[in-house]
Structure formats: C-alpha cells, structure tokens
Structure 1
Amino acid sequence: MGSAVNQLAGPLLLAVSGLYFLATLALRVFGRRTPPPPQPGLHWLPSIGVDLLLIGVLQALQTSGSVNFTPLFGLPLLLASVLGTLTLALGTAACATLVLLGWAIASGGADSAQMYLQAALTGTGYFVVAYLAHLLAARLISEQKMARRSQVDAHTQRAVSALVMQHVADGVLVLDTEGQVRLANPAALLLLGPHAEGGVPFALGHHGAWAPLLALARETFALQVPQMVDVEILHDGLAPMALRVRSWPTHTRAAALSPDEEPLCVMFLHDLREMEARLRTEKLAAMGRMSAAVAHEIRNPLAAISQANELLAEDLSDPSHQRLTTMVRQNAERLVRITEEVLDIARVQHRPLHAPPALVALDDAVRHIWADWQAHDRPRRQGQLKLEAGSAQVEFDTEHLRRVLVNLLDNALRYMGPHADSLCVSTRITPSGRCGLQIWSDGAPLDQSVERHLFEPFFSSESRSSGLGLYICRELCQRHGAAISYQRASRSLPRGEVPGNAFTVLFRGGSQPGSTPSLFDTIGH
C-alpha cells in the first residue's frame, strides 16, 4: 500500500503489519466460532486487546508525512460496540483515546498543542461513535429477536392451524377471487366427492357439481360480508350431498386489506345429514326419558289382553278357536319382548352383572334364523350358508341374535346383486379363538360420508329407512360384549374375485379376548 501512495514503509512497520496479519489469522483459526460473552473481561484480549496494541504500535511508528493509522482504531471500537456491552465500548474508546494522547505526548515538538487538540477531538468522536453504534446494535439485536420470535410464533400458528384443519369435522376451504382452492382439509375433500381426490390446488369451476360453492364465493367477495346458505352437491351416480355452507371474506368493508395482502374467502362445509343425525339422536334421548311411562302404559293393556286370552282359552273347545287364542298369546308375548328391547336400547344399558350369561349354539341358531328368513320370500332370498363354528357356543340371547341377523340380512337384501352367490352368511372360529359371524353381499361401496355414521341412530342414506337397524344391532352386540364392524372386502367366487360389503360380529369369549380381531380367511382386501 505504501508503494501505491509513493511512500516506502520501513522494515519495522512491515514487521508489525505482518505480526498483525498473523495474529488475525491465528484468531480466525484457533478462536471460537461464536462471539465471546459481551461483558468486559480477559476473553476480549485476543481480539480487541491485540487490535489496540498493534494499532498503537503502528501509530507510534508513524513518521511525518506517512500514512495516518488513527482511523484503524475504529475497527476494535465497532467490534466492542456491536458485540459487547456499553461499558466495553466506552472502555475501548477510552483506551484508543489514551493511546492517541500518549502518542501526542511522545511526539512533542512545536505543534504539540495542535496534536493534543486533535487527539482530544478524535477521542471525543470515538466516545460518540461507540455510544451510537452500541445503541444501533442493541436496536438491531432487539429487532432480530422480535423477528425470530414472530417467526417461531408463525410456525407454531401454522402447525396448530394445520392440525386443527386435519382433524376438524367440518370441511374447510380457502379460495381466491378466481375460485382457485388454495387450501382444503380432508373433510372438505371428502364432501366435495371423487373429483377432489387429486388434492389442492384445484379450481371450483372445473366441475359443474361445485357451481353453488363457486357462486357463493363470488357473492361473498362482491358483498364483502359473511354468507350462509344450504346447497346440494350433485355428482353423477352418487346420492346428492346436502351441505350447509358458511363463508367469510378476509377483507370486509369495515377492515380493508393492505396493498400487499390478497383477498381470500374461507368456507366451512357442514354435512346436513350429520346435523340431522345429531338432532335425531337428541330426540332419541328425549324418547328414552319418556319410555318408562310409555312402557307402563303398554304393559298394562298387554297384561290384560294376555289374562283375558288365557281365561277365554279355558272355555273354548273348538280347535280353530284354540288356534286363534294361541296366536293372540304368542303375539302378545312378542309385543312384550319388543317393548323390553326398545326400552333397553333407549336406555343404552348393559345386562346386569348378576344375570347369568345366555349360551347359544352359534351354528344351530344361525341355521334356524336363516331358514326362517328365507321362508318369507324364498325365490328372492337366495344365498350361501357356510357354518364352520362347529359346536361352539356364544354368550348371546337367542332373540337378540335373531334381531341382529335379520336386520343385517334385510340390509344386505336391499343392495345385493341378482346372482345366487350375491349373499353369503358364514360362521367360524377366528385365529384368536373367538366365534365370528359374517354377512357379506356384493353391493356397491358405501359413500365415505355415510360410512362414518353407519351405526348412528336415525342416520340413513335412504329417505324410506328409519336408520335404526344398524344402530340396534350395535347396541344389542354391546350389551352382550360382542363387537360389530363394517369392511369393504372381496370374496373369491366361481365368477371371479368379487368386491362387496361385509358386516362382521365377533362374540365375547375365546382364548385371547383382548387380541385384535382378524377377518375371515375368505375375505381379502
């Protein structure tokens, strides 16, 4: 550098400069990768101390007309102001000022007063620079901490929002002004149907079934106020999906967006069938509270009818009249059983613990129930019966087992195909040692929104169905410690591998009651 300004440096000056370079290189290689603690201490000597010492030596070796090394004191000064405390910064400024004053005293000469004044002014500038640089560094560090904290909060909020959206029951859509879906949770994709299986992003205008949602989004953007409307999503080959949709704009007339923000619309999709099922469940609970009084009113007339029928049977000798009284007695007893079952289901009560378990031979009971069910409409009620449980007995009331099996058979009859093997009733012992009953039919797959509420009361995909059949099956199974489940499964038949719907009942008992139940060997997913 001396050659560049036409000034030659002495060997001592070059030696000090080389020593300064080596000290810097050693600190870079052997020093810590993180800054030292900000408090004043000996740990600053390898950096700030060496800088002040060597720059002071360079300043002492400075000759008249040579390069002025005074600005180099700004390096340790800025280092102390940015990385250290205010005390360290002011101490570094004081040290640099003392070095300058010592150099002025040592130089002496005719212009010593001017050198003193220059050193004092330079030292004052060092103190001002140290103070201002430290304040600026502290402000930047504070802003950096706030930005880092805001970033962590944003990541946390994003993770929480994603978790809530993934598990919320309602469907959630986030749309832009062009009708493009920016964000959608699994519940929303399920409600929108198979055309949304590709995931986001997708446009609502690409499919005609989503036209009501697109129209509502445009209206929300135009009016800039929340909207709520009931719509129907009509997919080809599927039942209409009734939805209650609530939409909110991210910008309103009261709170406008800033220029760098994009207007969005947030939609919440709620399945009206689920809402209706919840209302029906609440009605069922209210019916349960009334059932005691109703049962009392029903039992009294039934008791009077049964007693009168028994008295009448004693005076009748005609065989045809006796058959009539027998029919009256049997149907009265059946009404009593039905009343008790409805009461038990409404109260959702298990059998008392002190009641002895009712044992029934599974294969024999299923064979008789199957024969009785077929006898009502034999040409239509065709199917396969495979009984492989042997002489195994299960803890289940015979009439309750009849109710469960008949409900499942009636349900399968509505959806199975016309083939002779479209329906199959089978029993066997599972590998875990539990007895199992399965009703399989080759019906069409259930909609996922229907499958989620399959065993809920009053929930049905058909308007003519009460929605109580599968609910009663579940409650009766739970009363006897059994478990009922639904699977989409395939069965190997002479006409090939046929997919279908399987309802499996696993009864209580077995060598490993706590193990996970397995499907029958004839079923493959």
Structure 2
Amino acid sequence: MTSYLWSRGDPATDWSSLEKFISTQSPAQLRLWRGFMAARCFVAAVLLLLQGIGLAIGAQPANLPAIALSSAYVVAVLVAARYAPFKPMRGLGGAWLYTIGLDLVAYTALQVMQVGGINYTPLFALPVLMGAVLGTSAVGLGTTAAATLLLLGHAAWYWVEQPSDTSPRIVQAALSGTGLFVVALLAHELARRLTREEALAQRSRSAAQMHALLNDLVIETLSEGVLVVDAEGQVHAANPAADAILGQGLARIPLPFALSAHPAWVPLAALARQTFARRSSQAREIPIAQSQGTPREVRVRTRLTQSRDMRTESLCVIFLQDLRELEARIRTEKLAAMGRMSAAVAHEIRNPLAAITQASALLGEDLVDPAHRQLTTMVQQNAQRLARIVDDVLDVARARQQRVLPLDEQVSLDSTVRTLAEEWVLHSKQQGVLLSLDAPGCDVRFDVEHLRRILVNLLDNAARYAGDREGSIQVGTRVSPAGRASLQVWSDGAPLEPAVQRHLFEPFFSSESRSSGLGLFLCRELCERHGATIGYERRALSPGGAEGNEFFVAFAPAESRLTQ
C-alpha cells in the first residue's frame, strides 16, 4: 500500500509537489500524455493525407518540400509515441524539444511553405495545450509566447515579401496569439485542479486502505467475537473469536450468509432485528447451542454504525463474550489478591505447625503407652504433611524458581502408580478402574507426595465424567522408544469443548461453577517443578475402540535426570 505525503507547503500552491506526484503516481496525467501523443499522430496523418489528396486532384501544384516535411513529421511523432517516456516538463529541455518544439517547427515550416491559401494557424493550439497541461506555468506560457512570436514572425516575413498586404496578417497573428494565451492559462489551471483532486483522492484512498487493514487486524486479534450484520440479516464479517464462541463451523461458511439460517443463531438474528427497529444498542445473555457439548452462555452486545449520508445503510456490529471466560478472568483478578493474602497466612501457619511438631516430639519422648505414642506419631505425620502443603502454596503464590530435587529422590513408576491407584479406589469406592502398567523397572525422579496429588486429581476428574462400565477409567504407564516414561489417565467421558481445552491448565478456570479451577493448574506446576510436562488429548486406546479423554504426564528424560 502506497501513500503520498506533500513534501512542503500547501498542496493547492506547491507546484513542485504536484510535479512529483505527476511523475510518479498520476494515472490521469499519463492518460493525457497518451492522448496528446495520439492527437499528434492523427494531425500528422491528416497533414500528409491532405498533401496527397491535393496533389492527386490537382487542386494545388506539387509542393515536394511540404510533402517531405509532412512525411518526416509522421515518422517523428510515431517514434515519439512509441518510445518517448512520460516526463513532467519543468523547462524547455529534451522532453519539450522532441514533442512541443518539434510541433512548433513543423507547423511553422508548413505555414511558410503553404500553397493554395491553406492556413495552419489552428494547429498551434495542440503544442500550446500540451505545454500548459503537462508542464509548469513557465513552460505553458513560454510555449504560447514561442507560438505567438512564430506567427508574428511569419506575418513580418510576409510583409517583407508583399508590403501591400500586411495589416490583416499581422492583426490575425496578434489575435491568434492572444487566444492561445487565454487557452494556455485556462488549460493550465484546469490541469492543476485535476492534479490536486487526484492527489487528494490518492491520499484519501491510501488512508482508507490503511485504516481498513488496521481495523481488520484489530478485529482478528480481539478476544471478543465480532459479527457485522446488515438490515437484511446478512453477515458480512466475522472474526476467529466468533467462530470459537458460536462453535458451528462459522469460518467455513462463505460470506455473506443469513444469520438466521442456522437454528442456534436465531436469537442473535432476532436481537439484530431489534437493534435496527429500535435504532439503539442492545445487550442480552443468550445460551448458544454448540455442535458438541452443552450450550454456552454468551453475553451479546449490539451497536449500530453511524452512516454519514442517507445513501449509506447502517450496520449492526454484534459483540460476543463467553461468560465462562469472563467469569474466569474476574475470579483470577479476585483470587490474585486472595493468593497474596494466602501467602501471608501460610507464613503465619508455619510457626504454629513448628510448635505442634516440636511439642509432639517432646511429648513422645516421655510416653510409654503404645497407643499414646501412636497418637503423637499421627500428629507429627500430619503436621509434616501440612507443612509441605504450606510450602507448595508459597511456591505457587511466589511463582519462584523450580526446586531441584536430590538425585536419589526417585521412585519406581509402576509400583508407585499401582499403590496410589489402589489407595484411591479404596478411598473413593470407584468401580471399573483398570491398570495397564508397561514400564517395569523404570524409575522416575519425582516426589511421591506430588505424584499422589497429581494422580488423585486426574482420577477425581475422570470419575466425575466417566461411565459405570468396566474399563471406563484406565490408568497406564509406558516407555517411549526414546526412553521417556509417561503416565496416562484415560476415561470414556464426553469430549471437552475447544474453549475448555484452551484454558485447561490455567488457574481458576473450570467448566463447573462449584470448582475453584486450581486442580489442573497445581498439577502443571508440580510437573514443571520436576521437569515433566502434562497434557490432554482425545484418543482411542485401540484401533476401532471408543474415544475418550486422556491426560498424560511425560516425565523428564533419563539423561535429564542424571545431569540434574
């Protein structure tokens, strides 16, 4: 996209800027140049044709110099029309010489060699117009002065040859010169106005293109969905966020299309019609049916564009906002402050926990009864567990650097997963859980308590949406050909919506209002602390089998475990 900026001064008076525009970007001036070239070719052909016709019918004696001059003039103008480049005429230079100068010389010579009373004076209007339109004011006036002087010179030469008949010719030459000056001034002013208008139009067009590109970029990157609808209910524009929110393959529908054509979007079309009828903005929360999953609650706001004239119709711009994402952002902002407060509370909890641990240890030294010693041991264990939870809360709140675990803090993957999964089944009384452990002898550097927290969280999520049949939840381990161990928790639940998948591991985002949305976020934080990654995919466990939701944990590679 090109744009033109005036280098200095006012566009209405800065002729040098106009010349720059003419020489680089003015299609109108280029068309005028081609028109003048075509006119010169036509005049040359007519002159040669008139010479031939006069000679053929014997209306005038043979004038071989005039015929030769007309022939040479035809060749010269054809060559100029074919090869001469368009250049603005800033002075009486080369461009002026092989066009206007050539015309003045040719017409003057024909005027001198005229036979039979033919008057070539009207032809001088062509070079005068060409200089006034395609050149500066100095070029236009200079060309007109040259043509006038040539006409007066011819009249003076005729006076020398025939002194008895000079007055009419001199008067005729003076009147012709006066008329040429008037034509030159008017043509030059019209050419300047044409150039100014074209320059302004080009600048307005460039600005409009730039604004259109900026608007497209802004709309494309908006997190809110945007639909542009006319009064007939036709959608003329939509951004990717609208496609994600509406969830019916909006991006694949060619524009424009009727908003009411899809049953799920009929409420949006009705709201657009209401906006046009009332000529005011509307806002409403509407459930939008999805191709998969439950309907999505969407906040819809409409705005009418302002038309600058009566011929331009207003458009309705519909803004779509997923209420779940909005609520998640609000909760994130609110809970961010709560997180800072929880870090302070965790600091305060540390001191009583230390006192409880120390007191139970001292008490255990004096106790003899095994039952009492067992109670103090339980107190110590749970106090230590609470202390570790406090440390984890502080780690998340501060987002501090990952803690590097000792090299000897490794666990046997299969035996640990089996123990933790059996404990969860016993505690939750969930039926239909299958184990498929295929990483025998594989050790991973991971804290057992953190692995417990991750596995319990994933199993709780799976049990919430899985069926009751055998194998509806499956826990597995495997080792990739590259030697990287992984843990998988698969369930036969319904597929997750794309909007939910994008925010699975973000804090405080949940598809259920009763959930805090911290479970998967903490799982991700714990995995990253140990150099592992957690992810989600929709897949079938076997070819042709039923698809389900699988969360997997890929542990750090073996070489990473050895070098840390």
TM-score (norm 2): 0.80
How far has the Cα of 1:379 moved from its partner? 5.5
Q: Tell me, yes or no, if the aligned pair for 2:411 and 2:448 is still in contact at 8 Å.
A: no
Q: Counterparts of 2:492 and 2:92 in 1: how far apart (Å)?
A: 83
Q: Counterparts of 2:337 and 2:438 in 1: how far apart (Å)?
A: 41
Q: Give the aligned partner of residue 269 of structure 1.
A: 320
Q: Give the aligned partner of residue 225 of structure 2.
A: 171
The one-letter code sitting in structure 2 at the alignment partner of 1:60 is V
The one-letter code sitting in structure 1 at the alignment partner of 2:154 is W
How far has the Cα of 1:305 moved from its partner? 4.7
Q: Give the aligned partner of residue 489 of structure 2.
A: 439
SS in 1 for 2:541: strand
The one-letter code sitting in structure 1 at the alignment partner of 2:224 is D
How far has the Cα of 1:340 moved from its partner? 2.6
Q: Tell me, yes or no, if the aligned pair for 2:63 and 2:115 is still in contact at 8 Å.
A: no
How far has the Cα of 1:296 moved from its partner? 4.4
Structure richer in helix, relative to its length:
2
Is residue 27 from structure 1 mapped to residue 80 from structure 2 by the alignment?
Answer: yes
Distance 1:463 1:55, change over 3 A: same
The one-letter code sitting in structure 2 at the alignment partner of 1:249 is L
**What pairs up with 1:62-77 in 2 under 5 angstroms?**
62-66=114-118, 68-77=119-128
SS in 2 for 1:412: helix
Q: Give the aligned partner of residue 383 of structure 1.
A: 434
Q: Counterparts of 2:478 and 2:292 in 1: how far apart (Å)?
A: 36
Q: Counterparts of 2:292 and 2:104 in 1: how far apart (Å)?
A: 85
Distance 1:14 1:376, change over 3 A: same
Distance 1:287 1:124, change over 3 A: same
How far has the Cα of 1:173 moved from its partner? 1.1
Is residue 115 from structure 1 mapped to residue 173 from structure 2 by the alignment?
Answer: no
Distance 1:55 1:504, change over 3 A: farther
Distance 1:433 1:57, change over 3 A: farther
Distance 1:112 1:504, change over 3 A: farther
Q: Tell me, yes or no, if the aligned pair for 1:345 and 1:476 is still in contact at 8 Å.
A: no
Q: Give the aligned partner of residue 398 of structure 1.
A: 448
The one-letter code sitting in structure 2 at the alignment partner of 1:470 is L
Q: Tell me, yes or no, if the aligned pair for 1:426 and 1:438 is still in contact at 8 Å.
A: yes
How far has the Cα of 1:419 moved from its partner? 4.8
Distance 1:87 1:490, change over 3 A: farther
**What pairs up with 1:277-356 in 2 under 5 angstroms?**
277-303=328-354, 305-306=356-357, 309-310=360-361, 322-351=373-402, 356=406
Q: Give the aligned partner of residue 361 of structure 1.
A: 411
Q: Counterparts of 1:106 and 1:87 in 2: how far apart (Å)?
A: 28
Q: Counterparts of 2:480 and 2:210 in 1: how far apart (Å)?
A: 47
1:206-263: CA deviation from partner (whole Å, max 9, x where unpaired): 2343333223322322333333333332447632322222221113xxxx54132121
How far has the Cα of 1:356 moved from its partner? 4.4
Query: How many residue pairs get matched?
Result: 503
TM-score (norm 1): 0.86
Distance 1:357 1:217, change over 3 A: farther
Q: Counterparts of 1:189 and 1:447 in 2: how far apart (Å)?
A: 13
* Bigger mean CA offset, 117-126 vs 431-440: 431-440
Distance 1:236 1:151, change over 3 A: closer
Q: Counterparts of 2:169 and 2:367 in 1: how far apart (Å)?
A: 143
* Bigger mean CA offset, 165-174 vs 133-142: 133-142
The one-letter code sitting in structure 2 at the alignment partner of 1:142 is R
Q: Counterparts of 2:503 and 2:521 in 1: how far apart (Å)?
A: 10
The one-letter code sitting in structure 1 at the alignment partner of 2:208 is A
Distance 1:288 1:11, change over 3 A: same
1:425-447: CA deviation from partner (whole Å, max 9, x where unpaired): 34444466544333333332211
How far has the Cα of 1:306 moved from its partner? 4.5
Q: Give the aligned partner of residue 373 of structure 1.
A: 424
Over the aligned positions, Cα root-mean-square deviation in angstroms equals 3.0
Distance 1:159 1:504, change over 3 A: farther
Q: Counterparts of 2:541 and 2:511 in 1: how far apart (Å)?
A: 25
How far has the Cα of 1:325 moved from its partner? 4.5
* Bigger mean CA offset, 329-338 vs 166-175: 329-338
The one-letter code sitting in structure 1 at the alignment partner of 2:555 is F
Is residue 213 from structure 1 mapped to residue 268 from structure 2 by the alignment?
Answer: yes
| Structure 2: runs of 5 or more not aligned | 1-48
Is residue 231 from structure 1 mapped to residue 286 from structure 2 by the alignment?
Answer: yes
**Identical columns (%):** 50
The one-letter code sitting in structure 1 at the alignment partner of 2:457 is N
Q: Counterparts of 1:465 and 1:501 in 2: how far apart (Å)?
A: 19
The one-letter code sitting in structure 2 at the alignment partner of 1:145 is A
Distance 1:433 1:50, change over 3 A: farther
How far has the Cα of 1:378 moved from its partner? 5.9
Q: Counterparts of 1:140 and 1:480 in 2: how far apart (Å)?
A: 73
SS in 2 for 1:239: coil
Is residue 462 from structure 1 mapped to residue 516 from structure 2 by the alignment?
Answer: no
The one-letter code sitting in structure 2 at the alignment partner of 1:151 is R
Q: Give the aligned partner of residue 157 of structure 2.
A: 106
Q: Counterparts of 2:514 and 2:234 in 1: how far apart (Å)?
A: 38
Of 35, 60, 70, the match for 1:17: 70
The one-letter code sitting in structure 1 at the alignment partner of 2:158 is S
Q: Give the aligned partner of residue 85 of structure 1.
A: 136
Distance 1:166 1:383, change over 3 A: farther
Q: Give the aligned partner of residue 499 of structure 2.
A: 449
Q: Counterparts of 1:390 and 1:113 in 2: how far apart (Å)?
A: 125
Distance 1:36 1:295, change over 3 A: closer
How far has the Cα of 1:203 moved from its partner? 2.1
Of 99, 103, 107, the match for 1:47: 99
Q: Give the aligned partner of residue 201 of structure 1.
A: 256
The one-letter code sitting in structure 1 at the alignment partner of 2:299 is R
Q: Tell me, yes or no, if the aligned pair for 1:179 and 1:214 is still in contact at 8 Å.
A: yes
Q: Tell me, yes or no, if the aligned pair for 1:485 and 1:504 is still in contact at 8 Å.
A: yes
Q: Tell me, yes or no, if the aligned pair for 1:175 and 1:182 is still in contact at 8 Å.
A: yes
Is residue 146 from structure 1 mapped to residue 194 from structure 2 by the alignment?
Answer: no
Distance 1:483 1:62, change over 3 A: same
Is residue 506 from structure 1 mapped to residue 557 from structure 2 by the alignment?
Answer: no
Q: Tell me, yes or no, if the aligned pair for 1:281 and 1:457 is still in contact at 8 Å.
A: yes
SS in 1 for 2:486: strand
